Amino acid sequence: MSQNSCCCTSSACCGTPAIQTVSTQLTLKDKLGGWKVRWGLARMDYTMEPGIYAAGEPNETSPVLVSANYKLTFDTLRKHLTGLHCWLLILDTKGVNVWCAAGKGTFGTDELVHRIQETGLADVVAHKKLILPQLGAPGVSAHEVTKRTGFSVTYGPVRADDIQAFISSGYKATKQMRTVRFTMWDRLVLTPMELVIAAKTSLMLFGVLFLINLFAARPFGLFDFVVYAAAVLTGAFVTPVLLPYIPGKAFALKGWLLGMIGTGLIAWAYGWFAPPSLLLGIGYMLSLPPCSAYLAMNFTGASTYTSPSGVLKEMKIALPLIVLSLVAGIILLLIKTFVG
Amino acid sequence: MTHQYLKNVATLAFIAEKCTGCGKCVEVCPHGVFEINEKKAQIITKDLCMECGACAINCPAKAIEVNAGAGCAAAIIWGWLTGKEPSCDCC
């Protein structure tokens, strides 16, 4: 953008962009906001204005770090920048984190090129070097960006907590910095979202059960709720947290195995494997572990290592089995409910 | 703890003749699938590939091909229901 073109629609007006300085300390409000979106509350509105920001007191030789406009992402990055002087170029990813946005293409070559031009980055820094988060790479073609803007793209570490080490080592990432992990903590923070989705679906089911109860010889009650809730927790919480320790590779199989154990134990404790309640025991053993399996399978979307080809293969085998078992179980449960 | 998903499913393909050994694939792969040996890239752990597509889009020599996408059950179901390519737009 020429220095004289005074369009005044953006912060890049008149060649002297008003660049906001950001703190590297998170406030209580930032932390609460992060906690809220982990539970799926107004998650898609947790955004910030794209553009250039300053951390510390950067000058024209300071590094430029590129990131996404999901506020949780931005907060995670800036809290690791204490003591550094750098520029932050925030792309418009519609409030989605870097990796997912790269998969969707919003953290992509076009948006990066556009943002470089719109912000007048070339007038802010004297060098031609961008540091992108490595997980942005599925959406960005480094050589294409260089061809279109003159800026070179270096991929930094996967995790923001390695950024200081990366910069101080002369922009070299170790293999460990380059490798994505999926620790128990990483998995744990993702489970609230799974639970919220499962709870929403469950509410619809409870509505149907309420109607059925009006005509039932054996209405659904607290015990039924407990065995169901356990199956949901198994699929959406226990399986994700214990993931690598559960036998098998397919997520559905892992969820089904734990679902069988959990449902089996509870049904046994309730005496549902003995004659008057046998239909109930078998009905739940057939219907609930598939629910755990399905919820566990959905966690592939949150995982950091499943390939689409693998998930497709898993689903082609697991889904028909899930549906068959579920339908058979529901039929037995309905017989028990209406016949008594 | 290293996670292992299904084996022999990744669609990752590497055309060694085109490779210039620039190392961008090593830089972008989040699972260390590539290594540079004797100035050429080499696939060392194909079963760890999650088909994110970072290597292919960042290879200046177009030496890597992969059917990239999101490894997500909900995305695949969404694709089946809408008749479109599986995508993350469902969530």
ipTM of predicted assembly, 2 dp: 0.92
- A313 contacts on B by Cβ (under 8 Å): 6, 9
Q: What is the mean pLDDT of residues A299-308?
A: 93
The pLDDT value recorded for residue B91 is: 52
Dump pLDDT digits (tens) for B14-50. 999 999 999 999 999 999 999 999 999 999 999 999 9
Average pLDDT, chain B: 90
* Chain-chain contact of A310 with B31 (C-beta, under 8 angstroms): no
Please state the pTM of the whole predicted model: 0.87
**Tokens (6 digits) for A334:** 């309905």
B81 touches A: beta carbon within 8 Å: no
Q: What is the mean pLDDT of residues A57-82?
A: 94
> Given B54, B67, B88, which is nearest A309 (Cβ)?
B67
What is the C-alpha separation between B15 and B11, in angstroms, rounded? 13
**Of A236, A243, A290, residue with least CA distance to A263:** A290
User: Is the pLDDT reported for residue A10 higher than 80?
Assistant: no
- B27 contacts on A by Cβ (under 8 Å): 134, 137, 155, 173, 178
B25 touches A: beta carbon within 8 Å: no
The pLDDT value recorded for residue A1 is: 37
**B73, closest residue in chain A (CA to CA):** A298
* Chain-chain contact of A138 with B53 (C-beta, under 8 angstroms): yes
The pLDDT value recorded for residue B81 is: 85
Radius of gyration of chain A (CA): 26
The pLDDT value recorded for residue B90 is: 55
- Residue from A309, A313, A314, A319 whose CB has the most chain B CBs within 10 Å, to mutate: A309
Q: What is the mean pLDDT of residues A178-204?
A: 93
> Given A104, A158, A182, which is nearest B88 (Cβ)?
A104
Asked if B71 contacts A308 with a C-beta cutoff of 8 angstroms, the reply is yes
- A156 contacts on B by Cβ (under 8 Å): none
Q: Give the C-alpha distances (Å, rounded to integers) separating A131 from A51, A71, A155, A166.
A: 15, 19, 6, 10
* Chain-chain contact of A178 with B5 (C-beta, under 8 angstroms): no
The more confident residue out of A128 and A28 is A128
- Residue from A153, A307, A313, A316 whose CB has the most chain B CBs within 10 Å, to mutate: A307
Residue B79 C-alpha, separation from nearest chain A C-alpha, in angstroms = 11
**Tokens (6 digits) for A107:** 């953290």
**CB neighbour list of residue B84: distance below 8 Å, 6 or more residues apart:** B78
**A194, closest residue in chain B (CA to CA):** B91
The more confident residue out of B82 and B91 is B82
* Chain-chain contact of A305 with B87 (C-beta, under 8 angstroms): no
User: Is the pLDDT reported for residue A259 higher than 50?
Assistant: yes
Span between the terminal Cα atoms of chain A, in Å: 77
Q: Which of A176-180, A205-209, B13-17, B66-70 has the lowest mean pLDDT?
A: B66-70
* Chain-chain contact of B10 with A307 (C-beta, under 8 angstroms): yes
The pLDDT value recorded for residue A3 is: 42
pLDDT band at B77 (very low <50, low <70, confident <90, very high): confident
The pLDDT value recorded for residue B88 is: 64
- A143 contacts on B by Cβ (under 8 Å): 24, 58, 60
**Of A122, A141, A48, residue with least CA distance to A91:** A48
Write out the CATH class of domain B13-82: alpha beta
User: Is the pLDDT reported for residue A305 higher than 90?
Assistant: yes
* Chain-chain contact of B10 with A100 (C-beta, under 8 angstroms): no
User: Is the pLDDT reported for residue B1 higher than 70?
Assistant: no
Identify each DSSP E strand in chain B by its residue range. 13-14, 34-37, 40-43, 64-65
User: Is the pLDDT reported for residue A11 higher than 50?
Assistant: no
Domains contained in chain A, CATH given: 20-178 (3.40.50.11600), 184-339 (no CATH)
User: Is the pLDDT reported for residue A109 higher than 50?
Assistant: yes
* Chain-chain contact of A308 with B76 (C-beta, under 8 angstroms): yes
Q: What is the mean pLDDT of residues A275-285?
A: 94
